[in-house]
Structure 1
């Protein structure tokens, strides 16, 4: 459990530097250059993610509550919206990205919130509450940056990107439900 908590704190903390130490990125870019910063950031992101996953996989299972039957269906339904927002954040901005303002942060919040319905063990609750709290704090931080006049929103490009986000999100969502989740996570969302 300790390894999981360290991984969770490091991963979320590392991805919160812009909130709590806004000048840190600029200092790192001036020291290592834009490309150097991206390499360092990527390597540290992967390392903290590996630590988080390893800690999660080896944490003891302590059940806090037992989700009622059918909660996984609610989770699966909400994950469709999370998947669409995820892809809206990865492609040029359409209406979805513009209206949600920060589709990646929204995707993380929906993902975390949805999984709280179908996971009752302590380590899962800590994981999803941690990511949900990170999403809320990140959204508040982004709103403050907007009000301060700092650029945080992507400009609208074209409505066709909404169609791409929908299609890619649905395909990804279906792939996760019917095979990928079980292959990657070890749990089938729809037990047969």
Structure 2
């Protein structure tokens, strides 16, 4: 199917991400699935379409933009370690300044965790993942795929900031100032933080093992 499948997967990916979260569809889905059910379904759909889009990029006609070199493999291998740790420290944690935060009423700006490093850690993880994977994939389809995700992550942070500033009013800037005064590092890590770091390491190892099965390419040299 070549470029047609890649283009179709591209359109389906962005439609599946944008339409379900817009009114009136989101309230309609949440009323029938519940808030948790909607989140789980939306996440599963997103991952499934992302996997299809990645496979479709591999099936697209190969148009070389730059030559492959052995050193390029080490870029995603190195960057994906921090990406997995960022995901483990971010998912399901309070973060009223971005999307995907859970139990935001419990957020302590004096101990913001990873939010001290980035207001949008999930978007940071996406940008790092995409940028790192551009390097060893020097063909047109993968450059479009990963380049779009990197640009989306960078633009998404600005859009979320604009929306949150409008929704939260002066509280948005006040919260930012308190977070900015918190220490970058806390040497008294909680049990939950240690557990999440362990999950990040396991996630990294799992991705190394599952990458050939999911995407047909080994990430190892």
Q: TM-score range by the shorter chain?
A: 0.7 to 0.9
Q: Does structure 1 residue 166 correspond to structure 2 residue 197?
A: yes
The 2-side partners of 1:43 and 1:165 are apart by: 21
Question: Which residue does 1:141 correspond to in 2?
Answer: 159
Q: Is the 8 A contact 1:85 1:107 kept in 2?
A: yes
Deviation at 1:6, TM superposition (A): 2.4
Answer yes or no: is the 8 Å Cα contact 1:79–1:111 preserved in 2. Answer: yes
Measure the CA separation in 1 of the matches of 2:45 and 2:31. 15
Deviation at 1:90, TM superposition (A): 1.9
For residue 5 of structure 2, what is the aligned residue in structure 1? Answer: 3
1:172 to partner: Cα distance: 1.5
In the alignment of these two chains, the number of paired residues is: 182
Kindly indicate which of the two structures has a greater share of residues assigned to helix.
Answer: 1
Whether the aligned pair in 1 keeps the contact of 2:58 and 2:142 (CA below 8 Å) is: no
TM-score, length basis structure 2:
0.68
Asked if 1:86 is matched to 2:124, the reply is no
- The whole-number CA distance in structure 2 between the counterparts of 1:9 and 1:145 is 25
Please tell me whether the aligned partners of residues 123 and 157 of structure 2 are also in contact (alpha carbons under 8 angstroms). Answer: yes
So what's the TM-score if we normalise by structure 1?
0.76
Q: 1:9-60 CA deviation, whole Å, 9 max, x = no partner?
A: 3313442459xxxxx6332244444444828746754664465245224212
State the alpha-carbon separation in 2 of the partners of residues 122 and 17 from structure 1.
28
Kept after mapping to 1: 8 A contact 2:87/2:122: yes
Root mean square deviation of aligned Cα: 3.2
Q: Does the alignment pair 1:12 with 2:18? A: no
Could you tell me which residue of structure 2 aligns to residue 181 of structure 1? Answer: 211
Matches within 5 A, 1:1-192: 1-16=3-18, 25-36=22-33, 38=38, 41=42, 45=46, 48-49=49-50, 51-93=52-94, 95-150=113-168, 159-160=189-190, 161-177=192-208, 179-191=209-221
CA distance in 2: counterparts of 1:176 and 1:97, whole angstroms: 25
Secondary structure of the corresponding residue to residue 148 of structure 1: helix
Aligned residues of 1:67 and 1:119 also touching (Cα < 8 A):
yes
SS, match of residue 61 in structure 1: coil
Q: Structure 1 regions of 5+ residues with no counterpart?
A: 19-23
